[in-house]
Each structure stands twice: as C-alpha cells, then as structure tokens.
C-alpha cells in the first residue's frame, strides 16, 4: 500500500500534475541539501519524503500566475 495515499495527496494540492511537479522539485532539493521537515519519515527515499512533507502541510508552494 502506498503511503501517503494518492487521495489524501490530491486533496492537499489542486491537481495530480501539481503534485508531481511539487514532489519532484522537493525531492531534488532533499537530495542536494537534506533539510527534511518531517521528524520521523516513513520512507527512506527522497520522493516519498517529499510526499510526506506535502501531507503534513510542512511544505508551502505558490502557483505561478497565468497571465
């Protein structure tokens, strides 16, 4: 079973595409500088840790303007 659940993750962000972009960018940041915002991560991989940060609301993001 996938943790965190995709249903919970999509509720935190507006779309699956935003989720993928946000998680991949954060995973790259974690790989370079390991500054994890979750105290005891369930996952040992960077993408899983990024998804856990999204679920725990410890990761903030801003959508670009569509002008």
Q: What is the pLDDT of residue 26?
A: 92
Contacts of 59 (CB under 8 A, 6+ apart): 22, 26, 37, 50, 53
Q: What is the pLDDT of residue 6?
A: 86
pLDDT 10s digits, 21-65: 999 999 999 999 888 888 888 888 889 889 998 988 887 777 777
- Taking the model in full, what pTM does it have? 0.82
Q: What is the pLDDT of residue 61?
A: 78
Q: What is the pLDDT of residue 32?
A: 94
Q: What is the DSSP letter of 26?
A: H
């Amino acid at each position: 079973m996938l943790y965190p659940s995709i249903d919970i993750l999509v509720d935190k962000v507006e779309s699956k595409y935003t989720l993928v972009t946000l998680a991949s960018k954060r995973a790259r940041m974690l790989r370079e500088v390991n500054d994890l915002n979750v105290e005891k991560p369930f996952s040992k991989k960077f993408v899983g840790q990024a998804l856990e940060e999204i679920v725990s609301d410890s990761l903030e993001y801003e959508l670009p303007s569509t002008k």
